[in-house]
Amino acid sequence: MRFVYPYGKRKALTFSYDDGQIYDRRLAGLFRSAGMKGTFHLNSGHLGPSGENDIFVGSSELAQVYEGQEIACHGVQHRNPTTLTRQQLLLEIQEDRKMLEQLTGGLVQGMSYAFGNYDRDIIEIIRTLGIKYSRTVQSTGDFFPPADFLEWHPTCHHSDRLAELGERFLNIADYYELPVMYVWGHSYEFGQSGDWSVIEDFVDKMAGKEDIWYATNLEICNYILAVRAQEFSADGLTAHNPAAVSVWVETRAELLEIKPGETKYIGER
């Protein structure tokens, strides 16, 4: 047997875009209209009042711009984590969480490292602050979920073999368990050049696939953490799901949902 994504989907696709510039409006709209989900990492100290000449998305339009997408931290002022004292880092992240949560009314538990910079100390500090995952800028060119979500290396930047990796992902080898294609970038890279073709072509190619789960960074993180939290009987044939979300198991004969708190036989019948 093996774990699969919700409703038996074999793989997950997600996006991670930083800095909250106004071009996010078009990018979030593109994802939404294709039934896809991305995560937008915002600097709460940069959010504009949504005036005509603003560089950044306005705080009053967050709900509308990012509808159906995830909002996550990137630091209040986009300061480099590795140059801050521990106290400064704590404020940079904790205050970002607080402000974004006040503006959106939900929990903000995701992050990406400003400038892609982090170290062991920083990981432990943000873990303490209730951050569940944080994205780096080191591309793997692959689809394995991370060992530690606070060091979540993306598959690729959108300028780096996106079409080729997308093709590989569509025809992914069967041995991958819970593969995820994780694309990152900044919407201003499209907005400033006016050339959106790389991301539009990719979204076109990847949209509407039966076997892909289109999810936010946090949804994928929560799902994989739930799978990793499963408990098994000594013979491995009964599973208990202590997590807050259902997990899905594919056996040779059937697809099984193990609901939160449920104990279920998962052997062959």
Place of tokens 């509407």: 208
Q: How far is the CB of 119 from Zn ion (least distance, A)?
A: 18
Residue 42 or 181 with smaller CB distance to Zn ion: 42
Q: How far is the CB of 260 from Zn ion (least distance, A)?
A: 35
Sites for Zn ion among residues 166-205 (CB under 5 A): none
Sheet architecture: strand order including 247-250? 2-4, 247-250, 255-258
Residue 42 or 162 with smaller CB distance to Zn ion: 42
Q: How far is the CB of 201 from Zn ion (least distance, A)?
A: 24
Residue 19 or 219 with smaller CB distance to Zn ion: 19
Side chain identity at 58, as an amino acid letter? G
Q: How far is the CB of 29 from Zn ion (least distance, A)?
A: 21
Which range of residues in 12-20, 24-32, 133-141, 165-173 is near Zn ion by CB under 5 A?
12-20
Query: Which residues are paired to 40 by β-bridges?
Result: 17, 71
CA 220, CA 215: separation in Å to the nearest integer? 6
Sites for Zn ion among residues 13-42 (CB under 5 A): 18-19
Map residue 225 onto helix, strand or coil: helix
CA 178, CA 81: separation in Å to the nearest integer? 31
Q: How far is the CB of 188 from Zn ion (least distance, A)?
A: 10
Give the residue among 169, 202, 161 at the shortest CA–CA distance from 38: 202
Q: How far is the CB of 23 from Zn ion (least distance, A)?
A: 14
Residue 16 or 59 with smaller CB distance to Zn ion: 16
- The closest residue (CB) to Zn ion is 18
CA 33, CA 37: separation in Å to the nearest integer? 10
Per-residue binding letters, 93-122, with Zn ion (x by CB under 5 A): ------------------------------
Angle at 52 (CA atoms; ends 49, 55), nearest 5 degrees = 70
Q: Quick check: 63 and 28 in contact, CB under 8 A?
A: no
What does DSSP assign to residue 181?
E
Which range of residues in 11-19, 90-98, 173-181, 211-219 is near Zn ion by CB under 5 A?
11-19
Residue 19 or 189 with smaller CB distance to Zn ion: 19
Q: Quick check: 12 and 212 in contact, CB under 8 A?
A: yes
Residue 18 or 96 with smaller CB distance to Zn ion: 18
Query: Which residues are paired to 112 by β-bridges?
Result: 135
Residues that bind Zn ion (CB under 5 A): 18-19
